[in-house]
Amino acid sequence: MNVLLLGSSGFVGREIRRAFEGDHRVTSVSRRGSADSRAVDIRDSSALRALVAETVPDAVLLVAAYREPDFCEEHPEEAHRLNVEPARALARHLPAETRLLYVSTDYVFDGENPPYRETDSTSPISVYGQTKRDAEVALQGRANTTILRIPLQIGGGASLADCGFIGHMVAALQSPQPQQLDDVLLRFPTWTRDVAGAARFLVERGLDGIFHYSTPTGATRYALTLEVARLLGLPHEHLAPSREIIARKARRPFNSQLDDAKIRAAGYARHTPFQAVVRTVLAELPQDPLRNLA
């Protein structure tokens, strides 16, 4: 398959790229470009159309987005430019026979009535969630279209600082500074590598419609950080649970658990446990002293 991957350098995109490469021809695209990805600004709809016309993909994977809720809350117009307009442009101009996979989020829900199935109404409570919902709406009714909703991502990178949520937890444990960590909002940290497998599964089987994919076990940031402390044998007495929601610019859902029975029934049931993900991510870091602790 000839695959056009938009957002290949990001946290999720780099695992999706890895999952498709080898068995498929992948054209990788990011905003800045690199030695092995093209630089195309997909906010520019003419550039996006030219890219599609040139590469003639069998499948387009739309992964690129502003994924920081606080950034989107402060920059709603800019968030709309990247998180909604490219989806609209692809809905209008992509040949009908080309498969489109769009990566969405659990933040399309308000978190009041979990767990959420694909048939539940969306109710975003942040600009980020609204933009992702608006992109989904733009794609509704298009044939050969898959929407994959995923929760908080955990995964690896070139360094601990590049490891997102896991990097933040380890940094909080390593720093001697007393710190309060959220102990209210339930999170469902799901491995980017498992998500990439889900994306490949859906595209290769040509499954249309909305699919949820999420780890089944939820915990707060505080509880997850303590689990990492136990796993690595690090002290955690300087960390305290915050029983009040720590104020941020964008509201977060209390519990936006995604019920992923539909994708499991379709045949994709991989769920790597949290501890195994943390161990793998740290072990794969090129040079990290924590490797010996894991």
* Interface with ligand NAP, residue 64, by CB under 6 A: yes
Stretch that binds ligand NAP, among 60-68, 115-123, 138-146, 221-229 (CB under 6 A): 60-68
CB of 23 to ligand NAP, least distance (A): 21
* Interface with ligand NAP, residue 82, by CB under 6 A: yes
Give the distance from CA 243 to its chain's centroid: 27
- Cα 106 from Cα 257, distance rounded (Å): 7
CB of 104 to ligand NAP, least distance (A): 7
* Length in residues, the chain: 294
Best CA proximity match to 266, nearest among 205, 224, 218, 222? 205
Stretch that binds ligand NAP, among 61-69, 108-116, 138-146, 214-222 (CB under 6 A): 61-69
Whether residue 260 contacts residue 120, with contact meaning beta carbons closer than 8 Å, is answered with: no
* Interface with ligand NAP, residue 168, by CB under 6 A: no
Q: Total residues contacting ligand NAP (rule CB under 6 A)? A: 26
Which amino acid, residue 264?
R
Contact with ligand NAP (CB under 6 A): which of 3, 27, 100, 105? 105
Best CA proximity match to 194, nearest among 183, 202, 205? 202
**Residue ranges of the alpha helices (H) in 121-163?**
127-139
Structure tokens at 272: 């790597």
Site for ligand NAP in 133-152 (CB under 6 A): 150-152
Site for ligand NAP in 206-265 (CB under 6 A): none
* Interface with ligand NAP, residue 153, by CB under 6 A: yes
Residue carrying structure tokens 């380890």: 170
* Interface with ligand NAP, residue 18, by CB under 6 A: no
Q: What is the CA radius of gyration of the chain?
A: 19
Q: Would you tell me how many other CB atoms lie within 10 Å of the CB of residue 267?
A: 9
178 versus 255: smaller Cβ distance to ligand NAP:
255
* Interface with ligand NAP, residue 11, by CB under 6 A: yes
* Interface with ligand NAP, residue 111, by CB under 6 A: no
Task: Kindly report the backbone phi and psi dihedral angles of residue 258, in degrees, each rounded to the nearest multiple of 5, phi listed first.
Answer: -95, 130
CB of 11 to ligand NAP, least distance (A): 4
Chain residues binding ligand NAP by CB under 6 A are 7-13, 30-32, 40-43, 63-65, 67, 82, 103, 105, 132, 150-153
